[in-house]
């Protein structure tokens, strides 16, 4: 079965039940967070929208018809460049219905990154919203492969088709091509140490496997309410919700991460599963400790599972969480976009005594830890983590060399260094790659280094990740100045203001940049100098 068939079945079985809710807390706060009468099939109260399973299915069908009328066919690519919104998932499923590939894009992409990824994935149609008008307009003449633009919002640019107007003219019934699990379904973007995104090709089998694995791990039922906060372009939170989607469970899309917004929404919507990043969980605990939020104002009795991931989880954080929320089950997962997101390694709610580990092989998955020759290492030794299962990507699209480097007889070599303890639980030790994960987002050192090198005061630079209690890691720039330079930290910070905020180094270190005889920066040496002891040692000791 393909995942679009699950949507059709949900509409048939649970048509009048709520499927998706969108909460815009900034709007709701201005309105005093009052309750308003709901209007079916789409409830449009201030700051809150909802849609039933039947309306979800029909909107996807309408969008599939819009795409078909544009000439979109099986194998074409439709990019989605939107902030989280209630339209996002119907658009995604509408694309899949046509046999085309959905291509979600990071909403933080600059204009040139949008153009690069559109070219890499051979995008035919680009769906975007108001937040991206300026960026898309700046590069649309360079994206010659994009034949059509669809705008989700008011005041559509003149080169676009307006989404709502197009849907109104389209039929709510759609008969598309017969799809199988072997058909291509989606392209997600990742990146290695070079910072250039790779296009990750997944089949419908990958998508269905994420539904089954997630449901097996967390036992979602029709009554579960999944509070989704991370961006939907990720293979993270969306795939976690797929476990609820499989059984007709509701998703609540929250547009904001303030502690009061998360707790208020969980309370109002009776959320049972809340998926958090480490910084958000820490912000909630800090807000409680400061008295910024008061727990007696919320009814969190329905909340059963606190699910966290996308970066290593500090054991101290979970200890604090359990003190504040003793009734919550806790779980974490490990995964990559190349493995259709989380679930290939899974801790399990029954293994909270192993906090710090990422867990064991997930349902339908295998794991092994290998040396440079691809041979399994002894338990307790460090090696590269490899995973195998139904969610492994088919390939890096149009990149045979990169594909051959990571796929070996069905095994995906993750590039993450890990070890297995005496009980079979896996701990991450370090990354073979130099990617920095800060607050669940990837930073690519080469991009930041190249930018900094454009400063004439800088002779050499290396960017590494430093441990951070809140964000997991922060970017630190080790800067070697030109002789006699008077450049200061304030000057560097001012220079970096043209970078997106999340890419700016959080720490500046003036020092020599070590390089080996072949001219490569010795980042392991820098990490040893500035990061201290191994993360895994600290985790095991705790």
pLDDT in tens, 440-455: 777 878 778 878 988 9
Domain boundary residue, one of 396, 414, 431: 431
Interstrand relation of 426-431 and 341-346 (parallel, antiparallel or unpaired): unpaired
Q: Describe the strand order of the beta sheet including 184-191 as a list of residue ranges.
A: 161-162, 148-151, 125-128, 77-81, 101-104, 184-191, 197-203, 395-396
pLDDT in tens, 330-357: 999 899 999 998 889 999 999 989 988 9
| Residue 263 belongs to some domain of the structure | no
* 466 & 347 share domain: no
pLDDT at residue 534, as a whole number: 40
DSSP one-letter string for 271-323:
-SEEEE-HHHHHHHHHHHHHTSS-GGG---TT--EEEE-SSPPPHHHHHHHHH
Q: For every residue of 255-267, which 3-state class applies, written as one string?
A: CCCCHHHHHHHHH
Q: Under DSSP, is residue 86 helix (H, G, I), strand (E, B) or coil? A: coil
pLDDT in tens, 19-33: 999 999 888 777 765
The Cα–Cα gap between 25 and 257 comes to 9
* Stretch (H or E) spanning 467: strand 458-468
Residues 6+ apart with CB under 8 A from 520: none
| CA angle centred on 70, ends 98 and 183, rounded to 5° | 20
Residue identified by tokens 């500090």 is 314
pLDDT at residue 43, as a whole number: 41
* 400 & 463 share domain: no
The Cα–Cα gap between 178 and 517 comes to 57
Q: Which regions of 99-246 does DSSP assign to beta strands (E)?
A: 101-104, 125-128, 148-151, 161-162, 184-191, 197-203, 225-228
Q: What is the pLDDT confidence band of residue 42, given thresholds at 50, 70 and 90?
A: very low
DSSP state of 496: G
Q: How far is CA 450 from CA 25, 63, 192, 458, 530, in A?
A: 38, 41, 16, 11, 21
Is residue 505 a contact partner of residue 448, using CB atoms and an 8 Å limit? yes
Domain coverage including residue 145: 3-256
Lowest-pLDDT range of 98-102, 201-205, 332-336: 332-336
- Whichever domain contains 463, its CATH number is 3.30.300.30
pLDDT at residue 8, as a whole number: 98
pTM equals 0.84
Rounded to an integer, the average pLDDT of 473-480 is 94
pLDDT at residue 460, as a whole number: 87
* 232 & 134 share domain: yes
Domain count, the chain: 3
Domain boundary residue, one of 375, 397, 431: 431
* Stretch (H or E) spanning 324: helix 315-324
* Stretch (H or E) spanning 48: strand 48-52
Candidates 139, 146, 92; CA nearest to 122 is 146
* 425 & 444 share domain: no
* 479 & 452 share domain: yes
* 485 & 343 share domain: no
- Per the prediction, the chain carries an average pLDDT of 89
pLDDT at residue 311, as a whole number: 66
Residues in the chain, total: 542
Residue identified by tokens 């996807």 is 60
Residues 6+ apart with CB under 8 A from 388: 365, 366, 367, 410, 411, 412
- Whichever domain contains 416, its CATH number is 2.30.38.10
| Residue 467 belongs to some domain of the structure | yes
| Residue 185 belongs to some domain of the structure | yes
Q: Under DSSP, is residue 375 helix (H, G, I), strand (E, B) or coil? A: coil
Q: Under DSSP, is residue 483 helix (H, G, I), strand (E, B) or coil? A: coil
Candidates 487, 409, 477; CA nearest to 449 is 477
Candidates 478, 482, 480; CA nearest to 457 is 482
The Cα–Cα gap between 279 and 437 comes to 12
DSSP state of 533: S
| Residue 297 belongs to some domain of the structure | no
* 385 & 514 share domain: no
* 232 & 131 share domain: yes
Interstrand relation of 360-361 and 341-346 (parallel, antiparallel or unpaired): antiparallel
| Residue 294 belongs to some domain of the structure | no
- Whichever domain contains 98, its CATH number is 3.40.50.12780
User: What percentage of residues in the chain have a pLDDT greater than 90?
Assistant: 69
* 458 & 335 share domain: no
Rounded to an integer, the average pLDDT of 237-261 is 94
* 407 & 487 share domain: no
pLDDT in tens, 105-123: 999 888 999 999 999 999 9
Is residue 234 a contact partner of residue 277, using CB atoms and an 8 Å limit? no
pLDDT at residue 519, as a whole number: 52
Domain boundary residue, one of 241, 256, 271: 256
Q: Under DSSP, is residue 516 helix (H, G, I), strand (E, B) or coil? A: coil
Euclidean distance between the first and final Cα of the chain, in Å? 44
| Residue 348 belongs to some domain of the structure | yes
pLDDT in tens, 273-308: 999 888 788 889 989 998 999 999 999 999 999 988
Q: Which two three-digit tokens encode residue 518?
A: 């072949």
Q: At what angle do helices 259-269 and 278-290 cross, to 10 degrees?
A: 100
| Residue 500 belongs to some domain of the structure | yes
Rounded to an integer, the average pLDDT of 133-152 is 97
Q: How far is CA 151 from CA 54, 155, 347, in A?
A: 23, 9, 41
| Residue 478 belongs to some domain of the structure | yes
* 398 & 448 share domain: no
Is residue 321 a contact partner of residue 280, using CB atoms and an 8 Å limit? no
* 77 & 186 share domain: yes
Q: Describe the strand order of the beta sheet including 458-468 as a list of residue ranges.
A: 458-468, 472-481, 507-510
């Amino acid at each position: 079965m393909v995942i679009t068939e699950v949507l059709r079945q949900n509409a048939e079985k649970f048509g009048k039940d709520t499927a998706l809710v969108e909460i815009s807390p900034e709007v709701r706060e201005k309105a005093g967070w009052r309750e308003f009468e709901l209007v079916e099939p789409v409830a449009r109260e201030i700051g809150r929208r909802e849609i039933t399973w039947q309306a979800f299915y029909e909107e996807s069908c309408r969008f599939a018809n819009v795409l078909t009328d544009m000439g979109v066919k099986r194998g074409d690519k439709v990019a989605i460049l939107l902030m989280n919104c209630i339209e996002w998932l119907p658009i995604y499923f509408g694309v899949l219905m046509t046999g085309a590939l959905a291509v979600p894009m990071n909403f933080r992409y600059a204009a040139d990154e949008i153009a690069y990824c559109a070219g890499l994935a051979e995008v035919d149609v680009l769906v975007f919203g108001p937040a991206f008008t300026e960026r898309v307009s700046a590069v649309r003449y360079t994206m010659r492969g994009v034949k059509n633009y669809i705008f989700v919002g008011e005041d559509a640019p003149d080169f676009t088709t307006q989404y709502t107007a197009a849907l109104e003219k389209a039929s709510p019934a759609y008969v598309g091509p017969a799809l199988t699990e072997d058909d291509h379904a989606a392209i997600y973007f990742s990146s290695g140490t070079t910072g250039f995104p790779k296009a990750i090709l997944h089949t419908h089998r990958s998508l269905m496997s994420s539904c089954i694995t997630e449901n097996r791990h967390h036992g979602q039922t029709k009554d579960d309410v999944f509070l989704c906060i991370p961006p939907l372009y990720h293979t993270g939170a969306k795939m976690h919700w797929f476990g609820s989607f499989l059984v007709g469970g509701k998703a609540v899309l929250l547009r904001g991460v303030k502690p009061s917004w998360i707790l208020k929404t969980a309370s109002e919507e009776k959320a049972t599963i809340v998926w958090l990043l480490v910084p958000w969980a820490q912000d909630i605990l800090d807000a409680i400790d400061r008295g910024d939020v008061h727990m007696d104002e919320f009814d969190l009795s329905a909340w059963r599972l606190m699910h966290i991931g996308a970066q290593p989880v500090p054991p101290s954080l979970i200890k604090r969480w359990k003190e504040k929320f003793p009734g919550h089950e806790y779980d974490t997962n490990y995964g990559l976009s190349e493995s259709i997101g989380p679930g290939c390694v899974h801790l399990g709610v029954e293994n909270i005594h192993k906090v710090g580990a990422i867990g064991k092989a997930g349902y339908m998955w295998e794991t092994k830890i290998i040396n440079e020759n691809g041979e399994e290492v002894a338990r307790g030794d460090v090696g590269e983590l490899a995973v195998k299962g139904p969610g492994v990507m088919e390939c890096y699209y149009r990149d045979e060399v990169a594909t051959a480097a990571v796929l070996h007889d069905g095994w995906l070599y993750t590039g993450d260094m890990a070890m297995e303890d005496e009980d079979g639980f896996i701990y991450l030790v370090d990354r073979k790659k130099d990617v920095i994960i800060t607050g669940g987002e990837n930073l690519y050192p080469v991009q930041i280094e190249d930018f900094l090198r454009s400063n004439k005061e800088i002779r050499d630079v290396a960017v590494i990740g430093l441990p951070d209690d809140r964000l997991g890691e922060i970017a630190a720039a080790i800067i070697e100045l030109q002789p006699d330079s008077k450049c200061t930290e304030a000057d560097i910070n001012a220079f970096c203001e043209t970078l997106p905020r999340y890419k700016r180094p959080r720490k500046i270190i003036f020092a020599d940049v070590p390089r080996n005889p072949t001219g490569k920066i010795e980042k392991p040496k820098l990490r040893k100098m500035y990061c201290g002891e191994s993360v895994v040692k600290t985790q095991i000791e705790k």
